[in-house]
Structure 1
Amino acid sequence: MPVHNRVKDLIGRLTLQEKIRLLVNNAAGVPRLGISGYEWWSEALHGVSNVGPGTRFGGHFPGATIFPRSSSPPPPSTPPSGRHRQGGVRRGPGHVQRGAGGADLLEPQREHLPGPTVGRGQETPGEDPLVAGRYAASYVRGLQQPYGYEANRLKVAACCKHYTAYDLDNWKGADRFHFNARVTKQDLEDTFNVPFKRCVMEGKVASVMCSYNQVDGVPTCWELNGYIVSDCDSVGVFYNSQHYASTPEDAAADAIKAGLDLDCGPFLAQHTEGAVNYALANTLTVQMRLGMFDGEPSEQPFGKLGPSDVCSPAHQKRPPCAPLSASRFRTVAVVGPNSVATATMIGNYGIGRYARTIHQPGCNNVPCAGNQPIDAAVTAARESDATILVMGLDQSQEAEMKDRENLLLPGRQQELVSKVASASRGPTVLVLMSGGPLDVTFANNNPKVAAILWVGYPGQAGGRPSPTQIHRESHLGFCYAGGKLPTTWYPEEFAAKVPMTDMAMRADPANGYPAGPTGSTEAPYTSFSHSIAHAPTAISVNLAGRRGPAQANSTTGRLLSAAAVRVTHARCDELAMDVLVDVENTGDRDGAHAVLLFASPPGGHRAPFRQLVAFEKLHVQAQSRARVRLGIDVCKDLSFADANGIRRIPIGEHTLHIGDQKHTFSIHAAAPGL
């Protein structure tokens, strides 16, 4: 029987009170129909987590692998076609989740990062909407892995969150419960909503989560169809804190009428008594796609999963790569508050097996305030062939409900770096752990700092990262990791100038605010996609048009503007081109290279100066060449949103950028029917 018929039949057997009790995260069972209770709240941002009550570790699954945080390198080079990579890596969370608890996951978080001080920036794939959207779609496909007739069954139901323009948590007295994000239609269309559209349309995600904040005075738990879940307990928030509705009943009813299907919290169950069938049909449909009403769970396709399905050789593959040359550096000092972030951090860095290690924290904790053992760290640096400083942030500095107020290293960390680098007998390597960017201009300008690595929050195997090198020497022995920065790293002056409450992605001359990352005129310390830890390469590019020029849709019956064509008036299925990129590794080691294709539109449209339109990551052997084909969909990739949020294709000369190379081509409009 088709799922929708089964859902309709089940809803007809439920009483009104039974339906209401099924609309919250801890859905009550219906014993008379043999329906067990179900907890919807489970998390898996970077590995299955027991933060939500729906996941229970024990038995065959005492724990789960913790992968790097979403912001950790190399999100910009995660291939949009990376079904195998994401599906393979994410097979672990899907398998573990089916063995540890519920079959839905309130992940991934797929907002982009709009500014450098966002406390939850560590949960995002970076500042670029395209990267965030393609990463989300790939993540979702890897988790859900549809199967069965018409791929209607799901291994796990994923959830993209938090819709939309949810960036501020707690900053200088403004909090997410009361914050009203003022966002233009233009910024919503070309920035904030881009990741969610890709997550839904390309990833086919099973649900979307709305959150606490308002956008232009309206709570975000509105305007979506399908299985929509509120953040826990955002429906209550928009009555109790935002006072959007006059009564609890009105708040619950408004949310359901607007498309909310599930309240991660108790609010709907307490206050609403109607308009629930549509919402319940969406949640029950997902549960049936997960096989929850198909009989004994152990007899279902994933009912017999065990450790062997997760701890497979493919999941434990480690490429050989030593951070430092063992022959050159016999004694290494490891310094910094994050050097002891885990009990195995020093050994995992690959030093203990090759060199004598001297460890001195320098700072006893990340805040690094007051009296600290800096002098002992300086002495260790003097006695060592090389010094590794592991500095940065932790959850005391940036987290949910804790946005940052500046971009500086906390407390006396900068002093520790400068003194240790000055005293070090050999090269000093600065390793930064953080979710968001930091202003380390002082280290970049210090000739004693040989290299700066950013590793994000690298997870349980953080001592063996594939880092993003953002500064200087690559001859120290680093592998060609190919990671690139997912965010722009601004100087402290940027954070001091732009308040987090300003949501504009474009410059505001009236207030003196520079633009957000996608349209910034502010000079960054390091740019989005920057890295120098890649193999020496030689790149050649060819453009290959697949179809004809932009034309007006003949159904409009009129000529279009010479400045820009509405996407809805263009023959989008005829507008495409290929960019062929040959990458040659001229180095003596195998390495990875991320090919990023940017586009700049003709001037005069208030479009982003330059935007990412395609990307792919290549693994190229030493002294060899590889080719990648990057496809461009003109309507999707080269359009922009005007002030009214309408997508248009600029007419005129466009410029493509790959590395230092530029290629130009023209788009023109033709008369209807020609």
Structure 2
Amino acid sequence: MRLGFFDGDPSKQPYGNLGPKDVCTSANQELAREAARQGIVLLKNSPGSLPLNAKAIKSLAVIGPNANATRTMIGNYEGIPCKYTSPLQGLTALVPTTFAAGCPDVQCTNAALDDAKKIAASADATVIVVGANLAIEAESRDRVNILLPGQQQQLVTEVANAAKGPVILAIMSGGGMDVSFAKTNDKITSILWVGYPGEAGGAAIADVVFGYHNPSGRLPMTWYPQSYVDKVPMTDMNMRPNPATGYPGRTYRFYKGETVFSFGDGISYSTFEHKLIKAPQLVSVPLAEDHVCRSSECKSLDVAGEHCQNLAFDIHLRIKNKGKMSSSQTVFLFSSPPAVHNAPQKHLLAFEKIHLTGKSEALVSFKVDVCKDMSVVDELGNRKVSLGQHMLHVGDLKHPLGVMI
């Protein structure tokens, strides 16, 4: 509506005659590349692995069914891309490469291992790009198996065992994958989740692999093991666990079982230090003299009341980039409420993304509305603020906060 397309003849409106020449400007193509860079999540990085040094790499093995992907990178609900840069093309633009798909497609019913292992054994480093595409996950195509499709796991494992240098596994998918085997395999030195990174995805992957961009993406969902999928019916959308039936619950808020990776995971080539500068230890809720909780013990308070008006506090943090490289950092503020009303084990209150040059620091402030941000939903669907001790989390920091009357 803001574009004016409901205001008569679109061609007579300010944006009615936009076409490829407007969409495919150099600035917009660079924006596609930057969006892909910011979305890449580094999940594992062993010492001496990433970033690779482009000047030191004389040969790079590029392997996998998504290594030369184009159409796959834009997922669905997509527009028409200006051009594609596949992972193979992006990496080849920086260093000499050799390529073997290893699988004819992502279904990978019959992996061709010999060529893939041969080029990995002679290369200075290996990048393996695996995952899914719209033939496996899309509208009306829900996955009941979250392992790498077909023989992709075998391809990754055997190539990693044969490889001479670092092995970087890049996973191209919309949803999570159970890659526990790669997480625990010391031969696989780095793991990247690139999502469906769009038309410039291959260039963005190369930027991250060779350190021209310091990764800062975070997982937007928890990655469960295959055993979770085997146990939990897809049609059961209950968030909270049910001990009576053995149902384990869903999401980082309620699920306490084993995960492959968790919501918010994501590391960088830099390390960051968080220091709490200001936060209250106690918040007092002002209740009317005749409020029922003045005369009886209450575990929580309804958020619909005058006591919730302007009930807020500030948190100030100092974030320091201890590395030499510039990097963005997403600062998450979580809260763990008291164990009443089947409350979540923790939930996200706020977040802010900042950019820090190497060895620099910055202040980050959050204003927390107690009744809006720290409330939970009780058994009857009413929103309540739990009384008692809450625990605030930022990175490795924990800060107790009492909410009392």
Partner SS for 1:574: coil
Closer, same or farther: CA 353–461 of 1 in aligned 2, 3 Å: closer
Q: Which of the numbers 377, 394, 403 marks the counterpart of 2:142?
A: 403
Q: Which residue of 1 aligns with 2:181?
A: 442
Q: Which residue of 2 aligns with 1:543?
A: 278
Q: Which of the numbers 635, 657, 664 marks the counterpart of 2:393?
A: 657
Q: Which residue of 1 aligns with 2:65?
A: 337
Closer, same or farther: CA 549–307 of 1 in aligned 2, 3 Å: farther
Q: Which of the numbers 192, 195, 199 marks the counterpart of 1:456?
A: 195
How big is the shift at 1:492? Answer: 1.2
Q: Distance in 2 between matches of 1:494 and 1:639?
A: 29
Q: Which residue of 2 aligns with 1:199?
A: none
Closer, same or farther: CA 657–570 of 1 in aligned 2, 3 Å: farther
Alignment of 1:248-259 (within 5 A): none
Closer, same or farther: CA 296–503 of 1 in aligned 2, 3 Å: closer
Q: Distance in 2 between matches of 1:297 and 1:360?
A: 48
How big is the shift at 1:478? Answer: 7.0
1:602 is aligned to 2:330? no
**Which one-letter code corresponds to 2:6 in the other structure?**
M
Closer, same or farther: CA 389–463 of 1 in aligned 2, 3 Å: same
Q: Which of the numbers 484, 491, 500 marks the counterpart of 2:225?
A: 491
How big is the shift at 1:305? Answer: 4.6
1:365 is aligned to 2:105? yes
Closer, same or farther: CA 376–347 of 1 in aligned 2, 3 Å: closer
Partner SS for 1:581: strand
| Contact kept in structure 1, 2:85 and 2:203, CA below 8 Å | no
Q: Which residue of 2 aligns with 1:504?
A: 238
| Contact kept in structure 1, 2:321 and 2:361, CA below 8 Å | yes
**Which one-letter code corresponds to 1:661 in the other structure?**
L
| Contact kept in structure 2, 1:466 and 1:481, CA below 8 Å | no
**Which one-letter code corresponds to 1:591 in the other structure?**
S
| Contact kept in structure 1, 2:216 and 2:268, CA below 8 Å | yes
**What whole-Å deviation, never above 9, does each CA across 1:188-207 have from its counterpart, x for those lacking one?**
xxxxxxxxxxxxxxxxxxxx
Alignment of 1:189-338 (within 5 A): 290=4, 292-293=6-7, 297-303=10-16, 305=18, 310-311=23-24, 314-315=27-28, 316=30, 324-338=52-66
**Which one-letter code corresponds to 1:563 in the other structure?**
K
Q: Which residue of 1 aligns with 2:126?
A: 387
Partner SS for 1:414: helix
Q: Distance in 2 between matches of 1:589 and 1:362?
A: 35
1:354 is aligned to 2:100? no
Partner SS for 2:389: strand
**What whole-Å deviation, never above 9, does each CA across 1:388-434 have from its counterpart, x for those lacking one?**
00001111111111111121111111100010000001111000011
RMSD of aligned Cα (Å): 2.7
Q: Distance in 2 between matches of 1:485 and 1:298?
A: 41
Q: Which of the numbers 110, 114, 119 marks the counterpart of 1:375?
A: 114
| Contact kept in structure 2, 1:331 and 1:384, CA below 8 Å | yes
| Contact kept in structure 1, 2:128 and 2:167, CA below 8 Å | yes
Closer, same or farther: CA 645–553 of 1 in aligned 2, 3 Å: farther
| Contact kept in structure 1, 2:85 and 2:200, CA below 8 Å | no
Q: Which residue of 1 aligns with 2:257?
A: 522
| Contact kept in structure 1, 2:310 and 2:369, CA below 8 Å | no
1:632 is aligned to 2:372? no
Q: Distance in 2 between matches of 1:314 and 1:629?
A: 32
Q: Which of the numbers 263, 268, 273 marks the counterpart of 1:533?
A: 268
| Contact kept in structure 1, 2:333 and 2:393, CA below 8 Å | yes
**Which one-letter code corresponds to 1:616 in the other structure?**
E
| Contact kept in structure 1, 2:283 and 2:403, CA below 8 Å | no
Closer, same or farther: CA 443–362 of 1 in aligned 2, 3 Å: same
| Contact kept in structure 1, 2:332 and 2:395, CA below 8 Å | yes
Of 633-642 and 527-536, more deviation after overlay is shown by 527-536
**What whole-Å deviation, never above 9, does each CA across 1:425-455 have from its counterpart, x for those lacking one?**
1111000011111111111111111100000
How big is the shift at 1:477? Answer: 4.0
Closer, same or farther: CA 629–348 of 1 in aligned 2, 3 Å: farther
Of Structure 1 and Structure 2, the greater strand share is in 2
Q: Distance in 2 between matches of 1:463 and 1:540?
A: 37
Name stretches of at least 5 consecutive residues in structure 2 with no aligned partner: 38-49, 71-83
Q: Distance in 2 between matches of 1:299 and 1:344?
A: 35
Partner SS for 1:483: coil
Quote the sequence identity (%). 40
Alignment of 1:409-420 (within 5 A): 409-420=148-159
Closer, same or farther: CA 298–395 of 1 in aligned 2, 3 Å: closer
Q: Which residue of 2 aligns with 1:575?
A: 311
Q: Distance in 2 between matches of 1:386 and 1:660?
A: 33
Alignment of 1:556-567 (within 5 A): 559=294, 562-567=298-303
How big is the shift at 1:577? Answer: 1.1
How big is the shift at 1:540? Answer: 0.9
Q: Which residue of 2 aligns with 1:590?
A: 326
Q: Distance in 2 between matches of 1:314 and 1:543?
A: 41
| Contact kept in structure 2, 1:534 and 1:593, CA below 8 Å | no
TM-score normalised by structure 2 residue count:
0.84
Q: Distance in 1 between matches of 2:240 and 2:301?
A: 22
| Contact kept in structure 2, 1:323 and 1:479, CA below 8 Å | no
How big is the shift at 1:619? Answer: 0.5
| Contact kept in structure 2, 1:479 and 1:533, CA below 8 Å | no
Q: Distance in 2 between matches of 1:329 and 1:484?
A: 28
Closer, same or farther: CA 466–411 of 1 in aligned 2, 3 Å: closer
How big is the shift at 1:569? Answer: 2.6
Q: Which residue of 1 aligns with 2:81?
A: none
Name stretches of at least 5 consecutive residues in structure 1 with no aligned partner: 1-153, 157-289, 670-674
Partner SS for 1:422: helix
Partner SS for 2:189: strand
| Contact kept in structure 2, 1:515 and 1:522, CA below 8 Å | no
Q: Which residue of 2 aligns with 1:421?
A: 160
| Contact kept in structure 2, 1:455 and 1:465, CA below 8 Å | no
Closer, same or farther: CA 408–557 of 1 in aligned 2, 3 Å: closer
Q: Which residue of 2 aligns with 1:645?
A: 381
**Which one-letter code corresponds to 1:345 in the other structure?**
S
How big is the shift at 1:465? Answer: 3.0
Partner SS for 1:328: coil
**Which one-letter code corresponds to 1:364 in the other structure?**
P
